[in-house]
Amino acid sequence: MQKRLDEMAYEEEGVVAKIQEGVRTRVAGMGVRVGKKIKMLTKEPLKGPVVVVVDEADISLGIGIADKIIVEVDG
Amino acid sequence: MKTLLMGNPNVGKSVFFNRLTGANIIESNYPGTTVDYTKGYMRLEGKDIEIIDVPGTFSLEPKDKAEEVAVKMLHESKESKVMCVIDASKAERGLYLALEIIEQGFPVVIALNMWDVAIDKSIDIDAKKLEQILGIPVIPTVGISGEGIFTLASRLEDATPIKMEDIVKRTEGIKHKVNTPDERWTLIEGISKEVVTFGEYQHTLKDAIGDFTVKPATGIPFVIAVLYGFWSVFGSFAGFFTDGFLVKIFDEHWLPWLQTVFPGGLGNWFYALIVDVGHLENGVLAASDNCFESFGALSSGLFVPVGVVLPAIFIFYLMFALLEDIGYMPRLAVLIDTVLHKIGLHGYAIVPSILALGCNVPAVGATRILETKKQRFMMMTLLALFIPCGAQIGIMQDVIPGSIGFVMLYLIAGYFIFGYILNKIIPGKTPEILMDVPPYQKPMSRNISRKVWMRTSGFLKVAVPFVILGSLLVNILYMAGTIDWLANILAPLFEGWFGVPRETAGPLVAAFLRKDLAVAQLSAIEMTKYQMISAVVLVSIYFPCIATFAMMLREGRKAFLGSLAVLLVVVFTWGGLLHLLWILMGVV
């Protein structure tokens, strides 16, 4: 099943399936790319940023970036 | 030969720089400590090599001003070699930038830094193999202990430009060309498969605390606790030293001593400038009994920066350095992004904002970590207007201890309200936060003490001469009658609009040089508690001190003039509104 990164539940894991053009180069340098394993650590309330784990590193993404990344999750 | 020190943010480039050049630049555990480049020289085999500490960047497609500086530096230094510092525990990311630099034709050496952290995380990298594949020197290093740094420097001469095709050829399973980010990542994954082995990663207590402090349910109460703790320690420490010791030393020993040994005596103009202007008691000139009222360059001029502000500045920088080096700032930025995003800023704006509580000058420089012109302009304007510096807060604690909370709240409200308005008026969109949240680190006492020392001595070097100069200038203007003249001209504005005594003109002139001196001088003017609050607020929001002014001008004339325009509007509305509030409350 695919969902947007910002829709993932706490502690949910998945694999990045698609990243919208424009956002792709911005997040590439931080290691977020298609095919990468990603885990949701937490989401800040009131449309705040999300914090995800990629390669054992915590990265914070604004919701406007997170909603342009599609993740394949189990189940 | 020139060497650029490059790498992702927060991989310890500044530590390298300090080690290689013997310089002392600030190091912290958060990305964006270096927003401008720093130059230094390293002596290697009898030759001086210029080293430039370049701001951290994730790629060569810049996303903020600091990264722009980095990319520009690289493009302007065609002849130089690059020392690329990689966080060994996040090697793939670092390789991404390294490959981009290699593609541009630069000779590169790679430092696999934070080697100890990688070992802790059971990550093993075959440096020899990586060196073989890339065709450039690769050395494991531990920046904070210095391990490997000089080996790396001595191998700079082995660095030569490498063709990407050759790297591709040497990497198993990779056939394609490397042009796009995705192709670059495929290559890196190919390289990583051959050289990096990940062991079983054990989650540690540090990670658990990291998670605890960034998740909103636990993180938000924690922020409040941290800020409250910060404020309490700040207040009690500064109060303990200032009221407990320094006030007594200055008022009971230093001032009386000056008054007896200094030639001239009360009424003499030179004595008044240097020691004590005195005050009228039943029409007779009487000597002052404390350093707040004496106004002399050697009495008030020394008492304000050393007796009152120094303890406050010291404890502020000590606590700030701890928060920085532990790595709390990025988590604070994530938690507060929600709020700051609503006024067009960015979680990261918390760094210049807190820095400004120490001193506005470095804070203006720190606005460069923000992405757009709009954000940088807003941040610079808001902090110059609404964030009182440590020197001012220190003296406020002594002069208006009961009302300081209200003053701070009123200023914070202004920060958000005018931030909201500016965000609506200024065109441009608000970029999304995108940043690394580094793991917590044990702070190194050597780094903390060095940082506190550098910042505190930096404060003293500027503050003491400026406060003395300010005292002299204001005293001379008083004697020449300029201040009375100004006070009379401005009387309708001061008394009618702002609701403060016209004598406030003097301290406001001083405020242009030093805000702490201005608040100290306010304490000598007869006024009600509410007038005092208004006057202190005016000192904060009216012109920033001259040092901040100069720094703002460096960020561009257009932004500077814009800030001035906002400033005028704010002084009139926000200053006048407070008067209105007092009228409505019936306290004037």
Residue-wise pLDDT for B222-233, tens only, equals 999 999 999 999
The rounded distance, in Å, linking the Cα atoms of B539 and B509 is: 10
A27 part of contact set with chain B, CB < 8 Å: yes
DSSP letters spanning B494-534:
IIIII---GGGHHHHHHHHH-HHHHHHHHTTS---HHHHHH
User: From the candidates A6, A10, A23, A30, which should be mutated to test the interface with B, based on the most B CB atoms within 10 A?
Assistant: A30
Are the beta carbons of A44 and B182 separated by less than 8 Å?
Answer: no
Q: Residues B481, B485, B491, CA angle at the centre, nearest 5°? A: 140
Q: HSE (CB half, 13 Å, CA atoms) of B473?
A: 17
B114's tokens: 């934070």
User: From the candidates A27, A42, A65, which should be mutated to test the interface with B, based on the most B CB atoms within 10 A?
Assistant: A42
Angle of helix B390-399 relative to helix B529-541, nearest 10 degrees, comes to: 170
* Sheet with strand B108-113: strands edge to edge: B38-44, B47-53, B2-7, B81-87, B108-113, B138-140
Are the beta carbons of A60 and B61 separated by less than 8 Å?
Answer: no
Strand positions, DSSP E, B178-331 = 196-198, 279-281, 284-286
B119 part of contact set with chain A, CB < 8 Å: no
Search chain A and give the residue with CA nearest B435.
A60
Are the beta carbons of B338 and A44 separated by less than 8 Å?
Answer: yes
Secondary structure letter of residue B243 according to DSSP? I
Are the beta carbons of B182 and A58 separated by less than 8 Å?
Answer: no
Are the beta carbons of A49 and B96 separated by less than 8 Å?
Answer: no
Domain A2-73 has CATH 2.30.30.90: yes
pLDDT at B131: 94
Are the beta carbons of A29 and B216 separated by less than 8 Å?
Answer: no
- B416 Cβ contact list (under 8 Å, min separation 6): B343
A16 part of contact set with chain B, CB < 8 Å: no
The rounded distance, in Å, linking the Cα atoms of B187 and A46 is: 39
pLDDT at B26: 67
Are the beta carbons of B433 and A62 separated by less than 8 Å?
Answer: yes
A39 part of contact set with chain B, CB < 8 Å: no
Set of chain B residues whose Cβ sits within 8 Å of the Cβ of A29: 8, 57-59, 61, 93, 96-97
Search chain B and give the residue with CA nearest A34.
B182
Are the beta carbons of B437 and A55 separated by less than 8 Å?
Answer: no
CA separation, residue B255 to residues B3, B239, B472 (Å): 54, 20, 17
Q: Exposed (0-12), middle (13-18) or buried (19+): which is B200, by Cβ within 10 Å? A: exposed
Chain B: closest CA distance from residue A14 (Å): 18
Are the beta carbons of B434 and A62 separated by less than 8 Å?
Answer: yes
pLDDT at A74: 82
- Provide the pairing of β-strand B108-113 with B81-87: parallel
User: From the candidates A16, A42, A44, which should be mutated to test the interface with B, based on the most B CB atoms within 10 A?
Assistant: A44
Helix, strand, or coil (residue A49): coil
The rounded distance, in Å, linking the Cα atoms of B37 and B74 is: 11
Are A20 and B52 in contact by the 8 Å Cβ rule? The answer is: no
Which residues, numbered 36 to 65 in chain B, qualify as contacts with chain A under a Cβ-Cβ cut-off of 8 Å?
A: 57-59, 61, 63
Secondary structure letter of residue B90 according to DSSP? G
B85's tokens: 């510092």
- Hey, which residues does B142 pair with through a beta bridge? B147
Band of the pLDDT at A75, cuts 50, 70, 90? low
Secondary structure letter of residue B493 according to DSSP? I
Are the beta carbons of A30 and B58 separated by less than 8 Å?
Answer: yes
Chain A: closest CA distance from residue B54 (Å): 17
The rounded distance, in Å, linking the Cα atoms of B92 and B282 is: 79
Are the beta carbons of A31 and B59 separated by less than 8 Å?
Answer: no
Are the beta carbons of A30 and B89 separated by less than 8 Å?
Answer: no
A47 part of contact set with chain B, CB < 8 Å: yes
pLDDT at B29: 63
Are B172 and B111 in contact by the 8 Å Cβ rule? The answer is: no
pLDDT at B563: 92
The rounded distance, in Å, linking the Cα atoms of B249 and B303 is: 10
Q: Which amino acid, residue B21? A: T
Left if phi > 0, otherwise alpha if psi is -120 to 50, otherwise beta: which for B299? Answer: alpha
Search chain B and give the residue with CA nearest A50.
B334
The rounded distance, in Å, linking the Cα atoms of B20 and B470 is: 40
Helix, strand, or coil (residue B24): coil
Search chain B and give the residue with CA nearest A56.
B90
Candidate from A51, A59, A61 with C-beta closest to B432: A61
pLDDT tens for chain B, 588 residues: list them: 789 999 998 888 888 888 888 766 666 666 666 666 778 888 877 788 888 888 888 888 877 777 888 888 888 888 899 999 999 988 998 999 999 999 999 999 999 999 988 888 888 999 999 999 999 999 999 988 889 988 988 898 888 999 988 898 888 877 777 778 888 888 998 999 899 988 877 778 888 898 899 999 999 999 999 999 999 999 899 889 988 899 999 999 999 999 999 888 888 889 989 999 888 888 888 898 888 888 899 999 999 889 988 999 999 999 998 998 898 999 999 999 999 998 999 888 998 999 899 888 888 888 888 888 899 999 999 999 999 999 899 999 888 989 999 999 999 999 999 999 999 999 888 888 888 888 888 888 888 888 899 889 888 888 888 889 888 988 899 889 898 999 999 999 999 999 999 999 989 988 888 898 899 999 888 899 999 999 999 999 988 888 888 888 888 888 899 999 999 999 999 999 999 999 999 887
Q: What is the SS3 string spanning B292-355?
A: HHHECCCCHHHHHHHHHHHHHHHHHHHHHHHHHHHCCHHHHHHHHHHHHHHCCCCHHHHHHHHH
Set of chain A residues whose Cβ sits within 8 Å of the Cβ of B184: 28
Which residue matches tokens 């810049």?
A: B62
A42 part of contact set with chain B, CB < 8 Å: yes
Chain B: closest CA distance from residue A44 (Å): 6
Chain B: closest CA distance from residue A7 (Å): 16
A32 part of contact set with chain B, CB < 8 Å: no
Helix, strand, or coil (residue B182): helix
